[in-house]
Structure 1
């Protein structure tokens, strides 16, 4: 009998950091990775579609729309039917970045949209999937340096930054309330994804201004942190992809 695979769930798995996570995890032995996507099924000619076709027992696309309670519940039921309470790691990666304005000019709709996707959607995902985590399982939220309060960055990402600061709080609180599960936010670095490039362009900045790195480098670093993490050493703290603890 083959050993039970290590099961991962990654949201926003169709592009950017999420896709890089899925690709890296799918290359590991005896691993299953559920790639959460909003547009389901992924296009056959997309990177995710091609990976799923080549490794159908390893890379499994699943419909998870951020903030949609029915989608999240259905995904949890699908995973539970196959693996029960056998999930090792959930990575809440899906996010948005809109409303690049100073506080005085930020639109309330942009605040609401950022909080819904970047803060509340990971909370919903945690509520639906944490019951499926193995003892010692991990729930990781992709956060951002822009959510720091003590070392607030001087960029006009007010709506996005506030939503990530709130995400850091709820992940720290969730770790306190979740014995046996390791929960923490992690900063992926400035990463060359379309979302980041669009955001930088909107405020007149370039990738080199923030030392942007490729998704593969970011994910390799984050997976090293996640693999080594324990509740005692990492739970409820804020980390970056290099394994350095950050201030909230």
Structure 2
């Protein structure tokens, strides 16, 4: 049985995919974890909680609904976390461009991938310890400098918007000692990444966690990949 190391992680969007893998990895490393799902049904995260010896607590929140974020804050207010990680995100048809994407699809991606994660950061930042870390799941496809092949046009735009909003957040809170991270996990085999992806969660997520741990208490904002390398903006 893994002995807890006393530190606590709050992972937003952990019912499956990268978020679930993050919750499992932090549990394996001895953390106490609070992780969220969006719907009311039972998920693999609930099964993981059942076998965690009480170290994993499952909460429910739809981050596109501000009232639910506020309610989550109220429920968690007595707790201080060492890490807040926002992992929620969606994609669309990679062939859709701004020339043909439906407006509602464009809005859905921007709200889910950029606006809502930052609303979570804004609302829950005070739950994070002063020497703690706030991280959001970005993507290498959010890099403007590295976009020389196109494709995934709207998804790229949503992740670039997320990066820009996080940078603005950092500028507004320049005196905040918390570490801020934009994490690029690589192309991973999940429902979002698809079966052709290069990496498995077992290849990506331990590196993501190692990178987060290496940045602990450093402060400032960085855009890093799962191997700890700086990603060009």
Name the TM-score, length of structure 2 as normaliser. Answer: 0.90
Q: Which residue of 1 aligns with 2:20?
A: 19
Distance in 2, matches of 1:113 and 1:194, equals: 17
Does the CA-based 8 Å contact 1:18-1:93 persist in structure 2?
yes
Q: Which residue of 1 aligns with 2:9?
A: 8
Does the CA-based 8 Å contact 1:14-1:37 persist in structure 2?
yes
**1:9 partner SS:** strand
| Structure 1 position 221 matched with structure 2 position 218 | no
| Structure 1 position 148 matched with structure 2 position 143 | yes
Distance in 2, matches of 1:59 and 1:104, equals: 44
Distance in 2, matches of 1:49 and 1:184, equals: 27
Distance in 1, matches of 2:182 and 2:28, equals: 24
| Structure 1 position 244 matched with structure 2 position 229 | yes
1:145 CA displacement: 1.2
| Residues 216-247 of structure 1, C-alpha deviations (whole Å, 9 max, x = no match) | 22110011110111565x73221100100011
Taking a change above 3 Å as real, the CA distance of residues 140 and 153 of structure 1, as seen in their structure-2 partners, is farther
1:175 CA displacement: 2.1
* Residue segments in structure 2 that go unaligned for 5+ positions in a row: none
1:99 CA displacement: 4.1
Distance in 1, matches of 2:102 and 2:148, equals: 20
Comparing 223-232 with 8-17, greater Cα deviation is found at 223-232
| Structure 1 position 169 matched with structure 2 position 164 | yes
Q: Which residue of 2 aligns with 1:33?
A: 33
Q: 2:131 aligns with which of 130, 136, 155?
A: 136
Taking a change above 3 Å as real, the CA distance of residues 115 and 231 of structure 1, as seen in their structure-2 partners, is farther
* Residue segments in structure 1 that go unaligned for 5+ positions in a row: 199-205
Does the CA-based 8 Å contact 1:97-1:195 persist in structure 2?
yes
**2:221 partner SS:** coil
Taking a change above 3 Å as real, the CA distance of residues 120 and 195 of structure 1, as seen in their structure-2 partners, is same
Distance in 2, matches of 1:64 and 1:4, equals: 27
1:130 CA displacement: 0.1
**1:102 partner SS:** coil
| Structure 1 position 123 matched with structure 2 position 109 | no
More helix by share: 1
Q: Which residue of 1 aligns with 2:76?
A: 79
- RMSD, aligned CA: 1.9
1:66 CA displacement: 1.9
Q: Which residue of 2 aligns with 1:88?
A: 82
Moved over 3 A (4+): none
Distance in 1, matches of 2:19 and 2:82, equals: 17
Distance in 2, matches of 1:237 and 1:173, equals: 13
